[in-house]
Structure 1
């Protein structure tokens, strides 16, 4: 039989005993039939019910709780697990007082899943490790890095915008990137990385999923214009894994550099790549590529803390030593020297920039089109209600519902659009990309980090859950900040994603290393306050960068929890593919470090159309009208930039 713990006798329950001030309500009437779910009636409220939070077997060491003892916010979670460990140890001891212990010994546990016994675990581990051994590319590369530093240079120019404009802003900034820490307040970000079509190692990789599986087609375009198309049966992330594994490096080359991107892969992973992680399928095919990356062999880095500017260039020593001159030392040295000269000439130049700043939109009818929300307000509210129904039915705890807004554009200056966006909504994980071969530009002003792996093997995620508009006066602004800080609904949103990411990082981190140094902090940006948490852990030595991404992608703040079931529900409710929105933008350095954002507050320009994605997390406390208002608030800044 199952029994329920009386609050006056909590210490008599081995699982919950010795927990100070742990409140347990004694049920006054219980129905506990073998075929009927356990219910409890509260006579104090004639029509009300209390939820049972804990049960135990009357004689066996079987316990159940209706909450998450492993949650970061569970006050006595560690004590409960310690108690359970003690119970398990005592149960296995010869002096155990539990009844029928021998009848339920490990030797007779038929319900133990195959693979959990010690010898089978070893076999399973060996097979998994064999499967995870990287398949080395036949084209091995030994990349060397040369770099130069110009001390305190930023203060002598008009800033990072001027540097990008001079070096890469010509000819519509085709095939350029800019990982732009346009907001460096409170040390949220320190470095910006920029580059264009570079040297002989430069290439662009464009990937389209071919169906609902991870199989797809990749086009690799070189700097000389040549292109090769191939089918990737194992998906893009496996391809990227092999590319990174095929590169050898010399650690002495990047000693002394204070940042993590030293050249390598820079681009985006679309939301559809969830099928290469845990998701079973995609509802629809995205019109934009599911992944697009450059291999950047030449780049410029800006240190916003001290104003230093770095010029970096990679070359392949194997090819250079084999007599292939285009890969040699002279080629990249020439680029380093020429770029340094161009930068130094900036100091003496007039402050005018080479970019045409006269017009954002060259269309004959600037206001001919406006953004159209994919779903009406009524339909979005119905979708929120559907999410609430799924949550009440126990299908999910939290669902991150999104939609998209679109408008036609003509002759727009995409780089000018990004410069306007970064001015109106500066963000620590902002980015500009142009992929000219697929007529695609990305203007991103994201405040959210998805995942970073640094030189010390530390993984860090910084999910955002909880957003409110800034106030019009300092007093109103502070009231709104505190309103967000103490909002039960927003705390619930944030907590569930923190616990989800703790689980994701736990798959690839050293046991016991995952921790939360900052829980539910409120950060303030130009137009909104946001609730942000920080989760960190130490990567296991045998885990690759791509393994880390696969463990956590897509970012939990854009899916909900539990992740897999939540993604399935969202696929049913959302009427179009998310595409680039809610994926990740960032870099994978050639020496296996990476930093990726969450693609939010972003304008995607593709084939004559501008699109903006927005949404919010639905939890049991959500109000449908308020959720619609929050979605519109998040979309307001990027859509107004285009309008």
Structure 2
């Protein structure tokens, strides 16, 4: 039976649209990239489709390279009538293409770009597309607009059917004879009402005109199982080893001992290297913290370095400042990178990873199975596995875009942890956990148990320590004063950053992006008293006191015995993605920030939160990323399982209010935990939308690598669970070097001066902590 062909214009919302079509039609659409000419030709010859949905995307409908295969599907460049053998629904760019390729006019919207804008729509009740859909926002018909161009004249082949209530822009068109429709909004957006009804009406119009029938039942998956350029999904290999867990529990709350007391005493003392702390510093927003150091026989430290960035050989488009590759992700991936592993005995091995670090992690996780009985005795999801970070440039190995900058730091660093402590902030219990490979025999179990006894004794002997607040001498210091005091300087000056913002907005006006998550980097390279390991520990203690966050972390890696350790101090409030043992996925994107007002909780502070909650710019930012993450999760989730239980809720932290949403779904059974990472990394809240072209624009503007910043810190458990943050609000230290990243989402509503002040606000909390600690020393 012919199906629906869905053209993916390298947008970041098309997979959610595919879910909607699959749920309504009862069969998954055939999703094809717009530069897959051979694939579409083969499908056409096989009569595999009878209707076409031309999806949204960046670009201009008069440019063949932006439409790709859709040019012929629409009837050719000259309107010669080819393509009349199928029905068409055009969404946004697809809608504009219907107009522009049939004699109509589609230009830059005279009312300005409208991205993430939710508006009421009125229609004339004459189009089948709107059967059962009320007219007007007051009656519940609201839609999400993502467009910079707009229809100003339909031409002779189409008639207008719907209009935006806020500015009168044409929102829908219908062909005068054929079952062809266009909508200048996203029917799949979380804030669009009656999206499924409109898709069902389109399919009914197709049936009425003889262009295929809907199937029965709803598929769990869409199209092929492949979510990466690396090839089709792999069957899960035969497990080569079973991991056993032993543990003991000691309650420390009754003695006033904190998780910080435990970490610095048990793992972070002495030189403080080769240790980790995934720290729920804001205990009101999370339950468990995990900490560990060098361990037993299974322990490894793995550091990975990508090869040098390749030269792009493809044709490019854009202006002198903002450029991108035409078409899809066709630039060559980097050459194989280098993995260095050190085990607990100090033995090092270095190898070239032909299949990449993400695949290496996947293989390592797949070949171990945790005893379900042992795991079920623990109330958390980390059952041994890998703990550390993936840098932003690791997007090279994901279904993303090859980075153009080289990081001076490892692109990924992980510990395989087989000895750790989980701290339960709800009960005050410390779970001391040891792992061993069952095939290694009784001796390894005894070693793990002996380690647990030793650590339990150490914890039971701890006395609580009081964390004395440091001086607030820098509480009122300006950004300029903090920079002078700490010696940091911006990679991009104020004027350069504002110029980048303006370039981003020009790209938005031209229809090439909707939202650009632009960042800047503070850096210094000098020797100070604050470089000592104990000062870095003090700095982290100060950060978690003054900027408590639920996804904080302290990581320290001995990268090379001849060079100083790499230390990452992070107080992130943002979860990137969590995956539970049973396949539930959850993302919590943050977009929208405003400073808190003192006294905290007072009238002025509440007013600041209310202002943020109702601010049109921040709501648009958040909505665009929510829809992007829905799309990323849709690629690896059961059809119909993607939901948004919390949309744009206020969460308050020590120095800022933030606008936070929650997106959830259910992982498909045919994908692994690392396949999910491939599909979603890097987090959309650090790229913008649509992801591919926006990252290209970012690469053209940002002059250096993001490194750890904008990446993720967390764990990948042997039990298939993982929990990853977004690396923001962080200080990265190695030797004399310090890096602090800061950024913000640029939309058409952004004020460049305000955006500069926002990155000053975000970095100031970190700079104050640095100043306090270094003044003390």
Task: Label 1:595 to 1:394 Cα distance change in 2 as closer, same or farther (>3 A).
Answer: same
Matched, 1:617 2:745: yes
2:687 is matched with 559
Give me the whole-angstrom Cα distance separating, in 2, the residues matched to 1:367 and 1:379.
Answer: 20
Matched, 1:433 2:530: no
Task: Label 1:257 to 1:124 Cα distance change in 2 as closer, same or farther (>3 A).
Answer: closer
Matched, 1:131 2:249: no
5 Å matches for 1:370-389? 370-389=487-506
2:243 is matched with 143
1:329 is matched with 445
Give me the whole-angstrom Cα distance separating, in 2, the residues matched to 1:621 and 1:198.
Answer: 51
Task: Label 1:511 to 1:196 Cα distance change in 2 as closer, same or farther (>3 A).
Answer: same
Task: Label 1:461 to 1:308 Cα distance change in 2 as closer, same or farther (>3 A).
Answer: same
Matched, 1:163 2:262: yes
* Secondary structure, aligned partner of 2:131: coil
Matched, 1:222 2:222: no
Give me the whole-angstrom Cα distance separating, in 1, the residues matched to 2:233 and 2:273.
Answer: 38
Q: State the Cα distance separating 1:499 from its structure 2 match.
A: 0.3
Q: Which runs of 5+ in 2 are unaligned?
A: 1-101, 106-120, 142-150, 214-218, 310-332, 472-482, 772-777
Matched, 1:455 2:581: yes
Partners of 2:245 and 2:433 within 8 A in 1: yes
5 Å matches for 1:318-357? 318-320=439-441, 325=443, 328-346=444-462, 349=463, 351=465
1:96 is matched with none
Structure 2 residue corresponding to 1:475, chosen from 573, 598, 603: 603
2:539 is matched with 417
* Secondary structure, aligned partner of 2:271: helix
Report the more deviating stretch, 391-400 or 406-415. Answer: 406-415
Give me the whole-angstrom Cα distance separating, in 2, the residues matched to 1:539 and 1:292.
Answer: 26
Task: Label 1:130 to 1:161 Cα distance change in 2 as closer, same or farther (>3 A).
Answer: closer
Task: Label 1:424 to 1:8 Cα distance change in 2 as closer, same or farther (>3 A).
Answer: closer
Give me the whole-angstrom Cα distance separating, in 2, the residues matched to 1:414 and 1:129.
Answer: 40
1:12 is matched with 126
**CA root-mean-square deviation:** 3.2
1:113 is matched with none
Could you give the per-residue CA deviations for residues 299-349 of structure 1, whole angstroms, max 9, x where no partner exists? 00111011111000000111227xxx4xx2111111011111111122xx4
1:495 is matched with 623
Task: Label 1:442 to 1:130 Cα distance change in 2 as closer, same or farther (>3 A).
Answer: closer
Could you give the per-residue CA deviations for residues 269-303 of structure 1, whole angstroms, max 9, x where no partner exists? 00001111133321110011100000010000111
Matched, 1:301 2:422: yes
Partners of 1:134 and 1:242 within 8 A in 2: no
Matched, 1:392 2:509: yes
Partners of 2:609 and 2:650 within 8 A in 1: yes
* Secondary structure, aligned partner of 1:472: coil
Matched, 1:177 2:303: no
Matched, 1:279 2:400: yes
Partners of 1:172 and 1:415 within 8 A in 2: no
Task: Label 1:122 to 1:436 Cα distance change in 2 as closer, same or farther (>3 A).
Answer: closer
Task: Label 1:172 to 1:9 Cα distance change in 2 as closer, same or farther (>3 A).
Answer: closer
Give me the whole-angstrom Cα distance separating, in 1, the residues matched to 2:281 and 2:228.
Answer: 46
Give me the whole-angstrom Cα distance separating, in 1, the residues matched to 2:549 and 2:122.
Answer: 53
* Secondary structure, aligned partner of 1:554: coil
1:192 is matched with 289
Task: Label 1:82 to 1:468 Cα distance change in 2 as closer, same or farther (>3 A).
Answer: same
Aligned length: 587
Partners of 1:154 and 1:160 within 8 A in 2: no
Give me the whole-angstrom Cα distance separating, in 1, the residues matched to 2:506 and 2:225.
Answer: 40
5 Å matches for 1:463-542? 463-473=589-599, 474-542=602-670
Task: Label 1:284 to 1:149 Cα distance change in 2 as closer, same or farther (>3 A).
Answer: same
Give me the whole-angstrom Cα distance separating, in 2, the residues matched to 1:39 and 1:79.
Answer: 19
Could you give the per-residue CA deviations for residues 356-398 of structure 1, whole angstroms, max 9, x where no partner exists? x99xxxxxxx987511011111111100000000111111110
Give me the whole-angstrom Cα distance separating, in 1, the residues matched to 2:287 and 2:169.
Answer: 48
Could you give the per-residue CA deviations for residues 229-284 of structure 1, whole angstroms, max 9, x where no partner exists? 00012211011000001112210011131111121100000000111113332111
1:110 is matched with none
* Secondary structure, aligned partner of 2:261: helix
Task: Label 1:239 to 1:367 Cα distance change in 2 as closer, same or farther (>3 A).
Answer: same
Give me the whole-angstrom Cα distance separating, in 2, the residues matched to 1:162 and 1:192.
Answer: 13
Task: Label 1:223 to 1:464 Cα distance change in 2 as closer, same or farther (>3 A).
Answer: same
Q: State the Cα distance separating 1:81 from its structure 2 match.
A: 2.0
Give me the whole-angstrom Cα distance separating, in 1, the residues matched to 2:103 and 2:651.
Answer: 47
Q: State the Cα distance separating 1:401 from its structure 2 match.
A: 0.2
Partners of 2:228 and 2:678 within 8 A in 1: no
Could you give the per-residue CA deviations for residues 176-209 of structure 1, whole angstroms, max 9, x where no partner exists? 1000000022xx2100000111111111000000
Task: Label 1:277 to 1:515 Cα distance change in 2 as closer, same or farther (>3 A).
Answer: same
Task: Label 1:60 to 1:268 Cα distance change in 2 as closer, same or farther (>3 A).
Answer: same
Task: Label 1:136 to 1:229 Cα distance change in 2 as closer, same or farther (>3 A).
Answer: farther
Q: State the Cα distance separating 1:49 from its structure 2 match.
A: 8.6
Deviation beyond 6 Å, 4+ runs, structure 1? 1-4, 37-40, 121-130
Report the more deviating stretch, 603-612 or 410-419. Answer: 410-419
Normalised by the length of structure 2, the TM-score is 0.71
Task: Label 1:562 to 1:181 Cα distance change in 2 as closer, same or farther (>3 A).
Answer: same
Partners of 2:104 and 2:155 within 8 A in 1: no
Partners of 1:190 and 1:304 within 8 A in 2: yes
Partners of 1:369 and 1:408 within 8 A in 2: no
Give me the whole-angstrom Cα distance separating, in 1, the residues matched to 2:586 and 2:519.
Answer: 25
1:86 is matched with 204
Q: State the Cα distance separating 1:591 from its structure 2 match.
A: 1.3
Partners of 2:245 and 2:435 within 8 A in 1: yes
Task: Label 1:155 to 1:445 Cα distance change in 2 as closer, same or farther (>3 A).
Answer: farther
Give me the whole-angstrom Cα distance separating, in 1, the residues matched to 2:466 and 2:235.
Answer: 50
Partners of 1:3 and 1:57 within 8 A in 2: no
Report the more deviating stretch, 78-87 or 551-560. Answer: 78-87
5 Å matches for 1:40-59? 50-59=168-177
Give me the whole-angstrom Cα distance separating, in 2, the residues matched to 1:126 and 1:485.
Answer: 35
Structure 1 residue corresponding to 2:518, chosen from 368, 388, 401: 401
Normalised by the length of structure 1, the TM-score is 0.85
Partners of 2:159 and 2:174 within 8 A in 1: no
